[in-house]
């Protein structure tokens, strides 16, 4: 396994390009840890004595003819790989629930039409020898607007190399990784809630993507995007009957042909303030009901589990729902309703430095993704 302390000798022996490749592979495989990395050590190994060569970089830039291109490129490549490993490690360690609620996929399209699950026509009778009908859905789709890039810059200064301020740079990278994860959670969960400034649902109306309320109990338009209620008003989460009310809405959902969809909810999403209440409802071993004026008490097993077969129901909570306090919660099959378009996965890439500010090299940590609703029939929102 490659050791950071052996870097200078290995570069002299095998060449900068080969060692840079080995370092990148080691960081990716986890056989090399970024914490042993040194900016001054890497510069010394790939470029030369920092006290002599950094001033040259300041005059002409890291990739100028004043510094051998292969060695400058190797230093930038290795530093970028180290920063990426640090960003990704901090990103992965940060807790979050969004991955349980969305179906991600990578795309190169800035905007695109997304076909909802229930918008696809179902099977039809086909006489012997006749052609099977095609699937029609061109007029039933959503098209969210292009999302913004989100990220921050990590700058490597003259002083950071000469005085080996590697710890500060790696701490910055870890902080950015943590913030990128938090930022994705915030944007994703706000979009699932369809709150102001984070709209989720853009059905195509008369050929034009149009923002519509994702949760509604009015069906005035009668169109596919507002054909059924998915908002249970006056349904505060207090006991199993409230879960039943939300489940009954899901059970009534039909597609555009009038066929039942048969939504099977797998997630109960609540604000942190409702976490204990929801846990008590789902984990109760028995329920007692006393009739008014009667001396008798009915005892039964948990009705939520027995009646609806929801033993696998996942309970998820987030502080990003706390703005709703104890008034709003969600039940449904979230991954059938929400997708995440990933245009740029979390990454670190080099950009030009700025000699005017003593920036030898600069790197940006960024992502570009978007949570969007492709339908409105798989998740029910309940309010008090």
Kindly report, residue by residue over 148-167, the tens digit of the pLDDT. Answer: 999 999 999 999 999 999 99
Percent of the chain with pLDDT strictly greater than 90: 62
| Token digits of residue 31 | 């056989």
Q: pLDDT at position 117, please? A: 65
| Token digits of residue 255 | 């597609």
| Angle of the 50-60 helix axis to the 39-46 helix axis, nearest 10 | 80
Q: pLDDT at position 303, please? A: 61
Is a pLDDT exceeding 70 seen at residue 356?
A: yes
Is a pLDDT exceeding 80 seen at residue 257?
A: no
**Average pLDDT of every residue of the chain:** 88
Least confident of 195-204, 237-246, 322-331: 322-331
Is a pLDDT exceeding 60 seen at residue 26?
A: yes
Spatial neighbors of 309 by CB under 8 A, at least 6 apart, are none
Stretch 85-107: mean pLDDT: 95
Task: Choose among 245, 244, 258, 349: nearest CA to 306.
Answer: 244
Q: How far is 232 from 319, CA to CA, in rounded Å? A: 22
Q: pLDDT at position 207, please? A: 87
Kindly report, residue by residue over 206-237, the tens digit of the pLDDT. Answer: 889 999 999 998 765 667 788 889 999 999 99
Q: pLDDT at position 2, please? A: 66
The neighbour count for residue 134, using CB atoms within 10 Å, is 7
Q: pLDDT at position 15, please? A: 93
Q: How far is 90 from 120, CA to CA, in rounded Å? A: 40
Threshold 0.85, pTM exceeds: yes
Q: What is the DSSP letter of 327?
A: S
Task: Choose among 258, 268, 267: nearest CA to 228.
Answer: 258
Q: Is 125 helix (H, G, I), strand (E, B) or coil?
A: coil
Stretch 368-378: mean pLDDT: 95
| CA distance readout (Å), 86 to 73, 155, 177 | 20, 15, 7
With cut-offs at 50, 70 and 90, classify the pLDDT of residue 299: low
Percent of the chain with pLDDT strictly greater than 70: 88
Task: Choose among 314, 328, 334: nearest CA to 377.
Answer: 334
Q: Is 337 helix (H, G, I), strand (E, B) or coil?
A: helix
Q: pLDDT at position 125, please? A: 86
Q: pLDDT at position 210, please? A: 93
Q: How far is 27 from 137, CA to CA, in rounded Å? A: 45
Is a pLDDT exceeding 60 seen at residue 137?
A: no
Cβ(97)–Cβ(316) under 8 Å?
yes
Q: pLDDT at position 68, please? A: 83
Q: pLDDT at position 136, please? A: 57
Least confident of 174-183, 235-244, 268-277, 290-299: 290-299
Q: pLDDT at position 331, please? A: 97
Q: pLDDT at position 129, please? A: 84
- What are the two backbone dihedrals, phi and then psi, of residue 314, each rounded to the nearest 5 degrees? -85, 135
Q: pLDDT at position 144, please? A: 95
Q: pLDDT at position 194, please? A: 96
């Amino acid at each position: 396994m490659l050791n950071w302390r052996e870097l200078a000798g290995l570069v002299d022996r095998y060449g900068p390009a080969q060692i840079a490749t080995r370092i990148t592979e080691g960081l990716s495989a986890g056989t090399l840890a970024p914490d042993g990395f040194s900016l001054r050590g890497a510069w010394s190994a790939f470029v030369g004595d920092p006290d002599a060569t950094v001033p040259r970089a300041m005059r002409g830039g890291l990739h100028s003819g004043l510094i051998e291109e292969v060695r400058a490129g190797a230093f930038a490549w290795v530093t970028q790989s180290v920063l990426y490993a640090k960003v990704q490690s901090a990103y992965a360690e940060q807790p979050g629930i969004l991955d349980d609620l969305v179906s991600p996929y990578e795309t190169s399209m800035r905007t695109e039409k997304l076909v909802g699950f229930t918008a696809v026509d179902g099977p039809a009778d086909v006489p012997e020898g006749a052609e099977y009908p095609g699937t029609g859905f061109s007029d039933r789709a959503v098209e969210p607007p292009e999302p913004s890039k989100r990220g921050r810059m990590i700058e490597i200064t003259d002083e950071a190399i000469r005085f080996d301020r590697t710890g500060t740079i790696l701490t910055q990278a870890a902080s950015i990784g943590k913030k990128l994860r938090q930022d994705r959670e915030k944007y994703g969960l706000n979009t699932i809630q369809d709150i102001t400034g984070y709209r989720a649902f853009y059905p195509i109306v008369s050929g034009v993507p149009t923002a519509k309320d994702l949760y509604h109990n009015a069906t005035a338009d009668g169109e596919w995007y507002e054909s059924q209620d998915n908002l249970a008003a006056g349904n505060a989460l207090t006991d199993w009957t409230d879960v039943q009310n939300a489940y009954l809405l899901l059970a009534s959902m039909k597609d555009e042909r009038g066929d039942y969809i048969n939504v099977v909810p797998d997630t109960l999403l609540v604000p942190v303030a409702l976490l204990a209440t929801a846990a008590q409802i789902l984990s109760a071993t028995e329920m007692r009901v006393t009739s008014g004026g009667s001396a008798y008490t009915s005892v039964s097993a948990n009705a939520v589990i027995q009646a609806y077969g929801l033993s696998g129901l996942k309970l998820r909570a987030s502080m990003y729902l706390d703005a709703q306090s104890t008034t709003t919660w969600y039940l449904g099959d979230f991954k059938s309703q929400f997708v995440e378009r990933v245009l740029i996965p979390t990454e670190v890439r080099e950009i030009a430095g700025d000699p005017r500010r003593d920036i030898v090299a600069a790197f940006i940590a960024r992502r570009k993704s978007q949570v969007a609703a492709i339908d409105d029939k798989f998740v029910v929102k309940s309010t008090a």
